[in-house]
A and B are shown apart, each in its own frame.
Chain A
Amino acid sequence: MTQRKDRTDRRYCMPDPLAALTDEAILAHVARGSRVLDLGCGDGRLLARLRDEHGASVLGIELDLNQILTAIGRGVPVIQADLDHELAGFPDRAFDIAVLSQTIQQVRHPRLILTEMLRVAAQALVVVPNFGYWRVRLQLLRYGRAPVTSALPYEWYDTPNLHFMSMMDFRDLVEVVGARIVKELPMLGGHVVERAWPANLRADSALYILERRDAGVPAIDTQATHG
């Protein structure tokens, strides 16, 4: 066990998806009174804050029943659904903002989910981990080891993280789904900064605000692709 612990201590850990600092960053970019959909809302903590502090009308999507029960206890409405399958039941343009925080690396079809987010909402707010971060690169270079997450010491063969991409890679996906980047905000340790140069090397995550390039019809078909 100690050996394993040493190993993970030395290894770079992915940003904690539950970090309160990430919530702050998201809160700062949601306009008052918005209609917000949070994909993978967990226990509804972010949505409860958006409702109480920003007067937002909110809806969450979550798969885990225990998390949903906590969200119900916060008065946050939640739809139990698997992000890999069931966004199809959501009507077009029902929301102002769809939020996907530190989750895109965990869905099977990132391209599909991004397309769907921009179908059901005018804007997508996505927080992505950046595998171009220098510590990830260094670790791979020095130890020849892939990154793990901090919340749980997942091994590569047993992790919810299915995809590894950098900010530059994510920009490619934005292009492919026919969206445009309204804002790209690098995050260093959960804090959003206006710019970090070179961002792809220095940011551990990044917050993106996206819109459809063509506000009418989605630019690409919604066929699933394996990222």
Chain B
Amino acid sequence: MASEISEIVESTRGDERSVGVVCTEFATLFEPPHELVLSAKGERLGPIQVAYETYGRLTPERDNAIFVCHALTGDAHVAGKLARDSAKVGWWDELVGPGKGLDTDKYFVICANILGGCRGTTGPGSINAATGAPYGMRLPFLTVGDFVAVHSALIKHLGIGQLLAVIGGSLGGMQVLEWAARFPEQIRAAVVLASAARLSAQGIAFNAVGRRAIITDPHFHDGDYYSQETGPNHGLALARMVAHITYLSEASIEKKFGRRLQHSDRFAYELMRETEFQIESYLHYQGTRFVERFDANSYLYLTRAMDYFDLAESYGSLEAALGKTSARFLVASYTTDWLFPTPQSQELVTALIAARRHVTYVELKSPYGHDSFLLEVDPLAKMLDPFLSQAYAAGPSPGRPPAPLL
């Protein structure tokens, strides 16, 4: 386990609230003949390598573990630095650390890269042991249920019977919901941020454009581009540019860039100029950076899993899906998030009330659109502190079907 490593707290100035230098760990799960049976078509997949990181210390009672589910393009590296001289910190570093919203002085925080990803966990870019070549698009179809099945197995592998909480935003929130439905006795609290029980048609539409950009890239080669000189970089960057717009709000783009020009204060009136406006330059930059760290096939697999996620469809109804756990829920949406708008969170809350679950819901004011759950850390931390303390004080949940809480 990585707890020993997490204890090496960097002593440089201003870093008292950082988890310091951390290390990504690897576990191999579902080794044949115990392969994971995938939920879409019943195919079997194994062995599965899982990349994960942990922060803080597990109590002797093993009752203070919190699992963070990352969103579409995240990874296991939530907090701290991977090298002492690195300037880059984890994607939710502001939330995870000593004295922070997920307080690593109190809690043992775990995050794993999702199945189908490209950041250490088995995905389309991994070598298929049976053939010695990358899976590419021969990797079976994956669902959010499969992501959670792997997370759940990792928890068992780490010797943790029940999580204090599972938390995630966006696609991460979908995993939290799936977790509550699929392994209801494994969690004591669930935090669902900027998420929904299913992706809206508008969300599917944007994903469709992103995937089309990738598969029509001449370097895509039906997903077998790993041995080629170049992959579908152009398509992947384009997919990211489109998606990135959906993570922002009209107001935040206006405030950050407005109609300001990138190179001059005069219009060039050039048709082919790629970065005339600052917002253009920004999107190109986001696209280029994304290609450096993400695999196009993973993008296809993960967005498709997101499109197909439908909790009510999988479990009969939202009430049926969410009524099996005795976990207490914290649901939050953001005022300017138009990708996962407030009514979708309210739909979850209505189902949780109908299922007589313990649920708290807030709509947080933020100008940052869907990205708010990553950027507006302060209000989140203010809620998580009392919420997690109460969940912790309430003690472990009984390992039997829950009594009505309401």
**A residues near B, CB below 8 A?**
35, 57-59, 65, 68-69, 71-75, 77-81, 86, 89-91, 94-95
Listed by A's residue number, 30 A-B pairs whose Cβ atoms lie within 8 Å are A35-B356, A58-B406, A59-B353, A59-B406, A65-B364, A69-B386, A71-B360, A72-B330, A72-B360, A72-B386, A72-B390, A73-B386, A75-B390, A75-B394, A77-B359, A78-B361, A79-B349, A79-B359, A79-B360, A80-B363, A89-B349, A89-B350, A89-B353, A90-B350, A90-B353, A91-B350, A91-B353, A94-B353, A94-B406, A95-B406
Say whether B354 faces chain A, with CB atoms less than 8 Å apart.
Answer: yes
Contacts of B393 in A (CB 8 A): 75
Judge if B219 is at the interface, Cβ distance under 8 Å.
Answer: no
A73 touches B360 (CB 8 A): no
State the Cβ distance, A183 to closest chain B Cβ, in Å: 25
Do A77 and B328 touch (CB < 8 A)? yes
Point out the residues of chain A lying under 8 angstroms from B404, CB to CB: 57
- A94 vs B358: C-alpha distance in the bound complex, in angstroms? 13
CA distance A81 to B389 in the complex (A): 24
Q: Which residues of chain A have C-beta atoms less than 8 A from B328's C-beta? A: 77
When chains A and B are docked, how far (Å) is the Cα of A86 from the Cα of B343? 11
Which of A77, A89, A90 contacts B360, CB < 8 Å?
A: A77
Q: A59-B359, A69-B383, A78-B360 are in contact. List 18 more A-B contacts (CB 8 A).
A: A35-B406, A57-B406, A59-B406, A65-B364, A65-B379, A68-B360, A68-B362, A71-B360, A72-B383, A73-B389, A75-B390, A78-B361, A79-B361, A80-B362, A89-B353, A91-B350, A91-B354, A94-B353
Q: Cβ of B346 < 8 Å from any Cβ of A?
A: yes
Within 8 A of A (CB), among B375-397: 379, 382-383, 386-387, 389-390, 393-394
Query: Which residues of A lie under 8 Å from residue B382 when comparing CB positions?
Result: 69
A184 to B346, CA, bound (A): 35
B residues engaging A (CB < 8 A)?
328, 330, 346-347, 349-350, 353-354, 356, 358-364, 379, 382-383, 386-387, 389-390, 393-394, 404-406
Task: Return A88 CB to nearest CB of chain B, in Å.
Answer: 9
A76 to chain B, nearest CB (A): 8
Residues of B within 8 A of A71 (CB): 360
What 10 A-B pairs are tightest by C-beta distance, nearest first?
A73-B386, A75-B390, A91-B354, A89-B350, A80-B362, A72-B386, A57-B406, A79-B361, A77-B360, A77-B358
Minimal Cβ-Cβ distance residue in B for A35? B406
**Neighbouring A residues of B346 by C-beta, 8 Å:** 86, 89
Q: Select which of A57, A65, A94 is within 8 A of B354 by beta carbon.
A: A94
For A120, the closest partner residue in chain B by CB is: B353
Complex: chain A residue closest to B319, CB-CB: A91
Please measure, in the bound complex, the distance between the C-alpha atom of A72 and the C-alpha atom of B391, giving whole angstroms: 10
Q: Is the CB of B356 within 8 A of A94?
A: yes
Of chain B, the residue at the smallest CB distance from A60 is B360
Which residues does chain A contribute within 8 Å of B387, judged by CB atoms? 72
Q: Output the nearest chain B residue to A95 by Cβ-Cβ distance.
A: B406
* Least distance between B331 CB and chain A CB atoms (Å): 9
| Residue in A closest to B391 when the chains form the complex, CB atoms | A75
- Of residues A58, A59, A86, A95, which shows the largest number of chain B Cβ atoms within 10 Å of its Cβ? A59
Q: Which residue of B lies closest to A76 (CB)?
A: B360
Complex CA gap A81/B363 in Å reads 9
Report the Cα distance A72→B382, complex, angstroms. Answer: 10
Chain B residues closer than 8 Å to A95, beta-carbon distance: 406
A101 to chain B, nearest CB (A): 20
Which chain B residues border A73 with CB–CB below 8 Å? 386, 389-390
CA distance A65 to B360 in the complex (A): 12
B residues less than 8 Å from A79 (CB atoms): 349, 353, 359-361
Smallest CB separation, A45 vs chain B (Å): 15
Give the residue name and chain of the B residue nearest to A69 (CB).
B382
Bound complex: CA A23 to CA B189 (Å): 30
Complex CA distance for A86 and B353, rounded to whole angstroms: 14
Instruction: Kindly list chain B residues whose C-beta atoms are within 8 Å of the C-beta of A91.
Output: 350, 353-354
Residues of chain A lying within 8 A (CB to CB) of residue B360: 68, 71-72, 77-79
CB distance from B392 to the nearest CB of A (A): 11
The smallest C-beta distance from A52 to any residue of chain B, in angstroms, reads 13
Residues of chain A within 8 A (CB-CB) of B386 are 69, 72-73
Question: Which single member of B330, B358, B362 contacts A65 (CB below 8 Å)?
Answer: B362
A92 and chain B: residue at smallest CB distance: B354
**A195 vs B349: C-alpha distance when bound (angstroms):** 41
Measured between C-beta atoms, what is the minimum distance from A85 to chain B in Å?
A: 11
Chain B residues with CB under 8 Å of A90's CB are 350, 353
For B389, the chain A residues whose CB sits under 8 A away are 73
Name the CB-closest residue of A to B358.
Answer: A77
Instruction: List, in ascending order, chain B residues with CB within 8 A of A86's CB.
Output: 346
